[in-house]
Amino acid sequence: MKLKVVALGLLVSFSSIADEGMWQPHQLPELEAVLKSKGLAIDAASIANLTAFPMNAVISLGGCTASFVSPQGLAVTNHHCAFNSIAHNSTPENNILKNGFLAKTFEQEVPAAPGSKMWLTENVSNVTRQIQQELTPQLRGKARFDAIEQIRKQIVAECEATPGYRCEVYSFHGGLEYYLMKQLEIRDVRLVHAPALSVGNFGGDIDNWMWPRHTGDYSFFRAYVGKDGKPAEYNVENVPFVPPSYLKVSAKGVQENDFVMVIGYPGRTNRYELAPEVANKFAVRLPREKTYRQETIALIEKYAPEGSDSRLKYESILAGLANYAKNFDGMIAGYQQGDLQQRKDNFYAEMQRWIKAEPARKVKYQPVFKEMELIIKADIAKQERDIVLGYFANAQLFRTARRLYRLSVEQQKPDEERERGFQIRDEDRQKSALKRMSRSYEPSVDLEIALHFLEKYHALPSEQKIAAFDQYFGLGEQFDAAAVREKLSAIYANTKLNDEVERLAWLGKTPEDFKNSQDPAIQFAVAMFADDMQEESAEKERLGKLTQVLPKVMDAIIQYNKSLGKPVYADANSTLRVTYGTVQGYQPRDGVFHTPFTTIAGLKAKITSAEPFDAPKVQQDAIAKADFAGYLQPQLQTLPVNFLSNVDTTGGNSGSPTLNGNAELVGLLFDGVIEGLLGDVDYDTKLNRSIHVDSRYMLWQMEKVDGAANLVKEMTVVR
Amino acid sequence: MKLKVVALGLLVSFSSIADEGMWQPHQLPELEAVLKSKGLAIDAASIANLTAFPMNAVISLGGCTASFVSPQGLAVTNHHCAFNSIAHNSTPENNILKNGFLAKTFEQEVPAAPGSKMWLTENVSNVTRQIQQELTPQLRGKARFDAIEQIRKQIVAECEATPGYRCEVYSFHGGLEYYLMKQLEIRDVRLVHAPALSVGNFGGDIDNWMWPRHTGDYSFFRAYVGKDGKPAEYNVENVPFVPPSYLKVSAKGVQENDFVMVIGYPGRTNRYELAPEVANKFAVRLPREKTYRQETIALIEKYAPEGSDSRLKYESILAGLANYAKNFDGMIAGYQQGDLQQRKDNFYAEMQRWIKAEPARKVKYQPVFKEMELIIKADIAKQERDIVLGYFANAQLFRTARRLYRLSVEQQKPDEERERGFQIRDEDRQKSALKRMSRSYEPSVDLEIALHFLEKYHALPSEQKIAAFDQYFGLGEQFDAAAVREKLSAIYANTKLNDEVERLAWLGKTPEDFKNSQDPAIQFAVAMFADDMQEESAEKERLGKLTQVLPKVMDAIIQYNKSLGKPVYADANSTLRVTYGTVQGYQPRDGVFHTPFTTIAGLKAKITSAEPFDAPKVQQDAIAKADFAGYLQPQLQTLPVNFLSNVDTTGGNSGSPTLNGNAELVGLLFDGVIEGLLGDVDYDTKLNRSIHVDSRYMLWQMEKVDGAANLVKEMTVVR
């Protein structure tokens, strides 16, 4: 579930599928004619304005999206986006995760999980020229990468000089453009309301990515600021934040074929990947990753058995592993059954023909693609090693030790010279991660993950091995599992990093302290450091090369598309985007059509006494009363629960407001259908469907089931 | 699969769901207005005429239906109806079951499986008065049953005096009416054509009862007769039968909402079961039977493991067990989720109110229902015992021994006094069954089934036990599984009935021979005989009682329905019926719609290299060529494979021709959807859907894949 919303799209004619695209707000005026014809009632220009309604009602939660729905900072998002905060406030005595939570007054609102923040984008500025002007063609590889990093950090530092803001430079089109985002950072976030787990997560993993769906995936936070109206740390004296605008909530909702628009922070897409990258991804990389994920799941299930305390710690990790194992599976199946590769191959071949067709283009672009192909080839050659080391990093002990040591090394430098992620501005996040580990780490389980992937590592070609790694774990010619297990057992038994206080105590220590430590995990970090740095250096060299090649590749792709009259939007990169479309069903397979609404009758039919279908009794009673007046879907004459649309979304869009043509909230985006999973690399008009909670279901549930009249009253409900 | 087609229906207003009903041909003129309005182009009266087109083109295969499609006796039915005949002619060297079969000339046609026959209904006469006039009210219980049996046998014997005919008296509405069916019996049936298993049974058990479906469930037989045109045993000199009429085959097919009509021999429905019978059936009986079926399957799978010779023998039995386990499962789920019981309860209560509302009715019907309720109660009291003994009878050794002895006892009487099923006319069938056992019997597996249900039997209340049974198997107070196993092992080791020749040798022996036999299975039959007869006598007493009560119950139900203006058709009873409706999809659950056609693209998407989705390469090549000209579904612009309609069918309808308004063959009925499985007791307008092979797919497959141009040419194809 988390961050799992899906989006799709190859480059196709504008008129035929105008609903593809995660548009940057500044692009919207260009699309006005289309938007108007589809049903947008407000000005397209108003959506382009970040400091006006409705854009400034939408906020990032980091990995999720939310939106303000009252003048007192009330914000609605998905239940799964609030999950950690609900769980954080849940106790065996007061199990609000299971039973739901409702603050009837501001005083009853509780702090969200540590580290919870809200970011409101206030300004976006194009800094491409500022970065490009520093880059001579002679600046290559790592040097180029470092130069870019330095300018980015400098721009960010200048921007963050204003207190209460977080700034970030984002690269678009592989570095063809850079934008600086300036976001107000709200640090006091409180939980206001969540339905019972069996409403907010009804259907659980079984229904994840699935249609028909009946999930009440909504929850409410409130933003608090200091009495001066400025962002502040949690304090009982803080006051509700007054957002620059907020969304009205529609009780009328939408019908089939209605216009909808989604504003949010989609995380990542790869719509412009080249044919050989796509072939490798679906035929080699994802199948391998799926296997490693499933193996990790099996290990955790074995060593943290159902019902054990360890299992509790790993539930969330397991859910994440399973979520993407299912995701990968869906993508692989979609790739095998569809014609994605064929179309990617055709596109690539046709673009190459277009390039060769004109001498100037040939000179400009042909060497670029040659170079790009070499980079892709080199990446594929070391891919298995990268995957294995990536899954080894699921062993949290070694990952944490490395991070602690790195932090210490970086802290010796002036802040502006430190690596991104290890600056002063990142220290809070580092600390939160060290604390969070206590809730999701069990040495005996961690050991098994390490052991499993050490064996995979050992099977790599010898030229890909890392000497320090082999030496530290005593890996010889043959893999001696018993000996390695013994070695690991000693490490996990003797390290102090299993303890939260001990972990935190390493913050602020010097590299010398690390070098002198007898802690075996710390010794690992120290032993690996030179190799880790060399790896990083090589990676920067590669990335630096990419910063020269990729913008040219993207430029060619954009020019080629322009020559075909096709519009181009940038891949998702966690920045604010707008997507639009209509409420509509789809044909998941021959002989079957998924209709665009589910209803309360369908929810009722799914209810059992067992998780995740154990709807609370109070909801069952309310369903039996059948008082849906005011919330009916007119075509169906009953209460709708979830609906489908063809908006173009992906992970990070979770919690995004779904708006009608008047920018009223008609739903919350929370998932995509499994048949559209290839959306990451390919928007398929026929299969790309997002799943939304219907605002009518949310309002009915709040009013008739959870008695959240205070919140319904606080919001402006359009009836 | 086999015989698995489904039908449904409670008594609802004619206008609202005119598509319910398995009508006797003589009822059709009454329905003419409805039929015409739906799209019937030919005279309704012509369908009422058994000796005219199209009724006399439709034949029974016994458990399946077929229809003539050429003037030379070519008949089309389902692949699963021809399965035994295809398997019978299949060898490891010439595996026609796997690869398919095509006779290019008459000479290449091969005999169908032993016992295969075709029955063409030539006359139906109402013999109710003839039977009723012999029955005084004083004739009760077994005496009444015996009297009816005697008249039935007499009527049948008179009818069968004409050589080449098979006659049967069928009871309608629980004995309110009796009809004599006179059928021409064709005894030389030959296999002409079957597609490959992975076409004819594409999707296998996985897709069984399911939509979307892509099964090419068709095969061809040919009827042969003696040179004199009269039915005859197989003889190379025989000539193709000239049927009184035959169906044209449509290459145009149907579209959504088109009128369709199905003629066939539906086996059994229970649409008029009373509320307490329904409650018991779905809450107690079927769940229990499902469990016993699954246990039997598990035993067979354990003791006849995959790949063993034994497994080959049990494949067909396993398929049958699994088919109905799935069927029961679907019915139980449908019952639990739906409101069938509520509606049955309401109907029952309202009918009782109607009865009480008028003094004359009250006097006439109230005692009848009191009596009926007592019968139902008594049936339920011994139900578990009946089920256990029924499943014990899956142990073929004991069933066969009993049948052989019974046959011998009956053969001592004059033919007309013998029990039905043990008369001279039945001897062929008895012999076939003894032979067929060789192909489906393995002593070691049979033993386990016997042992398993002996233990269940042992757990019955002591008053329900059978002394001879306990004594023969040495069952004491406690069930000693080891001792019983040892006993059974000795029986299976020492009996000669495992051998086909030995089994057949018992035909024609005297009861004395049986009594003197040392064969332990024969000894079992002899030991059980007195108790078996007593059981049978009690059952006849019960049935005799029913023949007095049930017609009155049905009379009340019919009169009550007439008072509501509702038409009544008789429950299916393996006699010729007509049902009509339209091509249409359905909503299996909230948020999902099953569209009425599947297409070749959907078939292609399902193909894998593994059974049951391993479409033959020749078909895959033909699909790749995409030459579907002449067979397109105009709305979809591609080749349709299967389609859905709301016709009212059940097991026995398999292979039935699906006709358009001109009585041209547009498909073959072969299954019903799992959501409509309650059809046996309740036709649900929203969920009752039958599945048909599209004639266009069959013709395309014959022409482009299997090269059956000779047959396509022989048929009259309407293009």
Instruction: Compare CB distances from A605 to B213, B337, B597 and report the shortest one's residue.
Output: B337
Question: Quick check: helix, strand or coil at residue A605?
Answer: helix
Helix or strand (DSSP H, E) at A156: helix A141-159
User: Are B639 and B241 within 8 A, CB to CB?
Assistant: no
Chain B neighbors of A686, CB-CB under 8 A: none
State how far residue B337 is from chain A, nearest Cα, in angstroms.
7
CB pair distance less than 8 Å for A592 and B589: no
**Is residue B611 scored above 60 in pLDDT?**
yes
Chain A neighbors of B603, CB-CB under 8 A: 590
pLDDT tens, position by position, A368-379: 999 999 999 999
Give the DSSP letter of residue B670. E
Dihedral (CA of B405, B407, B410, B412) sign: negative
**Beta-strand pair B249-250/B717-718:** parallel
B489 is catalytic: no
Chain B interface, Cβ < 8 Å to A: 211-214, 337, 587, 589-595, 597-599, 601-603, 605, 642
Q: What are phi and psi of A50, to 5 degrees?
A: -65, -25
Average pLDDT of B5-24?
Answer: 50
Considering the entire predicted model, what is its pTM? Answer: 0.87
Confidence (pLDDT) at B33? 87
Which two three-digit tokens encode residue B213?
A: 């479906």
pLDDT tens, position by position, B44-79: 888 988 889 999 999 999 999 999 999 999 999 999
DSSP characters over A336-353: HHS-HHHHHHHHHHHHHH
Confidence (pLDDT) at A379? 94
CB pair distance less than 8 Å for A602 and B595: no
Cross-strand pairs, B75: B68, B221
Per-residue confidence band for B9, with pLDDT thresholds at 50, 70 and 90:
very low
pLDDT tens, position by position, A84-106: 899 999 998 999 999 999 999 99
Confidence (pLDDT) at A509? 95
| Burial group, residue B636, by CB count within 10 angstroms (0-12, 13-18, 19+) | middle
**Is residue B182 scored above 70 in pLDDT?**
yes
Question: Quick check: helix, strand or coil at residue B231?
Answer: coil
Which residue out of A217, A446, A571, A671 is catalytically annotated? Answer: A217
pLDDT tens, position by position, A134-162: 898 899 999 999 999 999 999 999 999 99
CB pair distance less than 8 Å for B594 and A591: yes
Chain A neighbors of B589, CB-CB under 8 A: 212, 602, 605
CB pair distance less than 8 Å for A595 and B598: no
Residue A432's contacts (CB-CB under 8 Å, 6 or more residues apart) are A114, A115
Q: What is the rounded average pLDDT for all residues in chain A?
A: 93
Average pLDDT of B380-399?
Answer: 96
The chain B residue lying nearest A333, using CA atoms, is B605
Report in angstroms the alpha-carbon separations of A210 from A1, A327, B695: 11, 11, 34
Chain A neighbors of B211, CB-CB under 8 A: 591-592
State how far residue B659 is from chain A, nearest Cα, in angstroms.
22
Instruction: Compare CB distances from B594 to A214, A592, A601 and report the shortest one's residue.
Output: A592
Per-residue confidence band for A565, with pLDDT thresholds at 50, 70 and 90:
confident
**Is residue A429 scored above 60 in pLDDT?**
yes
The chain B residue lying nearest A596, using CA atoms, is B591
The chain B residue lying nearest A337, using CA atoms, is B605
Confidence (pLDDT) at B137? 87
Confidence (pLDDT) at B31? 87
State how far residue B606 is from chain A, nearest Cα, in angstroms.
9
Instruction: Compare CB distances from B595 to A212, A593, A605 and report the shortest one's residue.
Output: A593
Q: Please give the Cα distance from B675 to B687 (Å, whole number).
A: 6
In 3-state terms, chain B is what percent helix, strand and coil (to 5)? 50, 15, 35
CB pair distance less than 8 Å for B591 and A337: no
pLDDT tens, position by position, A575-601: 999 999 999 999 999 999 999 999 999
Amino acid at A525: A
Model ipTM?
0.84
Confidence (pLDDT) at B385? 95
CB pair distance less than 8 Å for A337 and B601: no
State how far residue A696 is from chain B, nearest Cα, in angstroms.
17
Q: Please give the Cα distance from B664 to B717 (Å, whole number).
A: 9
Q: Please give the Cα distance from A347 to A12 (Å, whole number).
A: 10
Q: Please give the Cα distance from B693 to B671 (Å, whole number).
A: 9
Which residue out of B60, B79, B80, B458 is catalytically annotated? Answer: B80
State how far residue B210 is from chain A, nearest Cα, in angstroms.
11
User: Are B714 and B74 within 8 A, CB to CB?
Assistant: yes
- Tell me which residue of A2, A14, A687, A20 sits closest to A335, measured CA to CA: A687
Chain A neighbors of B598, CB-CB under 8 A: 590-591
Confidence (pLDDT) at A479? 94
Per-residue confidence band for A64, with pLDDT thresholds at 50, 70 and 90:
very high
Confidence (pLDDT) at A357? 96
Instruction: Compare CB distances from A337 to B593, B598, B605 and report the shortest one's residue.
Output: B605
pLDDT tens, position by position, B624-658: 999 999 999 999 999 999 999 999 999 899 999 99
Average pLDDT of B144-160?
Answer: 95
Confidence (pLDDT) at B10? 29
Instruction: Compare CB distances from B591 to A337, A589, A598 and report the shortest one's residue.
Output: A598
Dihedral (CA of B475, B478, B480, B483) sign: negative
Give the DSSP letter of residue A27. G
CA atoms within 13 A on the CB side of B259: 18
State how far residue B688 is from chain A, nearest Cα, in angstroms.
16
| CB–CB contacts below 8 A, A to B | 62
pLDDT tens, position by position, B310-327: 888 898 899 889 888 888
Confidence (pLDDT) at A306? 86
Which residue out of B198, B654, B656, B695 is catalytically annotated? Answer: B654
A217 is catalytic: yes
Question: Quick check: helix, strand or coil at residue B564?
Answer: coil
The chain B residue lying nearest A594, using CA atoms, is B592
State how far residue A263 is from chain B, nearest Cα, in angstroms.
26
Residue B523's contacts (CB-CB under 8 Å, 6 or more residues apart) are B472, B517
Average pLDDT of B514-530?
Answer: 97
pLDDT tens, position by position, A402-413: 999 999 999 999
In 3-state terms, chain A is what percent helix, strand and coil (to 5)? 50, 15, 35
Question: Quick check: helix, strand or coil at residue B530?
Answer: helix
Instruction: Compare CB distances from B592 to A212, A214, A601 and report the shortest one's residue.
Output: A212
Chain A neighbors of B595, CB-CB under 8 A: 587, 591-593
Most confident of the following: A311-325, B469-483, B704-718:
B704-718
Q: Please give the Cα distance from A152 to A418 (Å, whole number).
A: 12
Q: Where are the alpha helices (DSSP H) in B426-494?
A: 427-436, 443-458, 467-473, 481-494
Dihedral angle at the C-alpha atoms of B526, B532, B533, B537, nearest 10 degrees? 180
- Tell me which residue of B244, B261, B249 sits closest to B120, measured CA to CA: B244
Chain A neighbors of B203, CB-CB under 8 A: none
Residue B157's contacts (CB-CB under 8 Å, 6 or more residues apart) are B416
The chain A residue lying nearest B337, using CA atoms, is A605
Report in angstroms the alpha-carbon separations of A598 from A358, A595, A673, B127, B671: 53, 8, 14, 54, 28
Chain B neighbors of A639, CB-CB under 8 A: none
Chain A neighbors of B212, CB-CB under 8 A: 589-592
CB pair distance less than 8 Å for B605 and A590: yes
pLDDT tens, position by position, B254-276: 999 999 999 999 999 999 999 99
**Is residue B15 scored above 60 in pLDDT?**
no
Q: Please give the Cα distance from B74 to B86 (Å, whole number).
A: 16
pLDDT tens, position by position, B426-457: 888 899 899 989 989 999 999 999 999 999 99
Average pLDDT of A257-276?
Answer: 95
Instruction: Compare CB distances from A591 to B337, B587, B598 and report the shortest one's residue.
Output: B598
Per-residue confidence band for A6, with pLDDT thresholds at 50, 70 and 90:
very low
State how far residue B329 is from chain A, nearest Cα, in angstroms.
17
Q: Which of A303-312, B193-202, B248-257 has the lowest mean pLDDT?
A: A303-312
Between B289 and B428, residue with greater pLDDT:
B289
User: Are A515 and A526 within 8 A, CB to CB?
Assistant: yes
Test the A interface: residue of B207, B590, B598 with most A CBs within 10 Å: B590
A654 is catalytic: yes
Confidence (pLDDT) at B682? 87
Which residue out of B19, B188, B207, B217 is catalytically annotated? Answer: B217
The chain A residue lying nearest B599, using CA atoms, is A590
Test the B interface: residue of A590, A607, A691 with most B CBs within 10 Å: A590
CB pair distance less than 8 Å for B593 and A595: yes
Confidence (pLDDT) at A1? 33
**Is residue A15 scored above 70 in pLDDT?**
no
User: Are A119 and A183 within 8 A, CB to CB?
Assistant: yes
Chain A neighbors of B207, CB-CB under 8 A: none
User: Are B118 and B111 within 8 A, CB to CB?
Assistant: no
State how far residue A587 is from chain B, nearest Cα, in angstroms.
9
CB pair distance less than 8 Å for B213 and A591: yes
